């Protein structure tokens, strides 16, 4: 009888150990799976800083150098790696094209309420942004995710400005035009950032997402992302 009870106790203890080990192994695999994923996404961003604040001069708050720009948006391509259960790091590349009127603004006597604007030409600009991103999941349940994104990078602007012939002809003095060349390049680079306090994602491997924020990925950013695992997360 004592031998039977000892054998039974031995089986129960080992069974519990096996179940515990299996649960821990499952949890470990799930964590590895969650923290070993790559994401590629493509999206369209509207109302970027280069569109909203284009030509703004802080010292002259009513003056903008450009106007009548066509509807503009940035194409965004992003990659991110999930290095923990909630956190991701990655990078974003964006491209945006803009065009519109090139303005001549005058403020007679320094009176900002007497702004006089003349269209002196047209401009065409292409903006490229390269930036690093950090993403944090507030919550993830099934196919749904709620998250935030923050990032920083550099935007390169390649711009061509061209005077209207009628305006340009007014600049001649003694055979020399003080406006300079009729067609000029105005290329520059500047810091750019992005902060989206609220983002939503729905789907499995293929997800639809929407972000609300401000920066190089626009005020509204929406698109598709594809999620795949590396060899570590799949156990290969």
Whether 33 contacts 235, CB under 8 Å: no
Helix, coil or strand: residue 4: helix
> What is the pLDDT averaged over residues 118-134?
96
CA distance 53 to 176: 34
Look at residue 10 and tell me whether its pLDDT is greater than 80.
no
Give the domain 29-234 fold: Porin (2.40.160)
**Tokens, residue 138:** 């507030």
Q: Which of 68-82, 121-135, 222-236 has the lowest mean pLDDT?
A: 222-236
Q: Over the chain, what is the mean pLDDT?
A: 83
Total H helices, total E strands in the chain = 4, 14
What is the torsion angle, in degrees rounded to the nearest 10, for the CA atoms of residue 63, residue 67, residue 72 and residue 78?
-30
Q: Flag whether pLDDT at 79 surpasses 80.
A: yes
For residues 214-220, give the mean pLDDT.
97
Residue recorded with tokens 């196919």: 143
Q: What is the pLDDT of residue 56?
A: 65
pLDDT digits (tens, 9 = 90+) for 143-190: 999 999 999 999 999 999 999 999 999 999 999 999 999 999 999 999
pTM for this predicted structure: 0.77
Between residues 139 and 50, the one the model is more confident about: 139
pLDDT reported for residue 6: 52
Per-residue confidence band for 27, with pLDDT thresholds at 50, 70 and 90: very low
């Amino acid at each position: 009888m004592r031998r039977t009870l000892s054998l039974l106790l031995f089986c129960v203890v080992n069974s519990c150990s096996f179940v515990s080990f299996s649960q821990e192994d499952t949890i470990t695999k799930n964590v590895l799976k969650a923290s070993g994923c790559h994401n590629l996404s493509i999206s369209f961003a509207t109302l970027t800083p280069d569109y909203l604040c284009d030509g703004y001069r802080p010292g002259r708050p009513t003056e903008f150098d450009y106007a009548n720009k066509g509807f503009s948006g940035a194409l965004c391509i992003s990659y991110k790696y999930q290095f923990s259960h909630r956190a991701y790091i990655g990078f974003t590349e964006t491209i945006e094209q803009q065009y519109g009127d090139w303005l001549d603004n005058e403020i007679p006597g320094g009176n900002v309420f007497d702004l006089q604007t003349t269209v002196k030409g047209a401009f065409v600009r292409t903006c490229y942004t390269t930036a690093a991103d950090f993403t944090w999941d507030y919550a993830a349940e099934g196919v749904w995710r709620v998250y935030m994104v923050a990032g920083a990078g550099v935007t390169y602007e390649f711009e061509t400005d061209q005077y209207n012939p009628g305006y340009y002809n007014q600049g001649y003095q003694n055979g020399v035009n003080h406006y300079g060349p009729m067609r000029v390049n105005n290329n520059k680079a500047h810091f750019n950032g992005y902060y989206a306090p609220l983002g939503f994602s729905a789907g499995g491997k293929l997800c639809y997402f929407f972000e609300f924020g401000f920066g190089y990925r626009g005020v509204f950013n929406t698109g598709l992302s594809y999620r795949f695992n590396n060899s570590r997360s799949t156990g290969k």
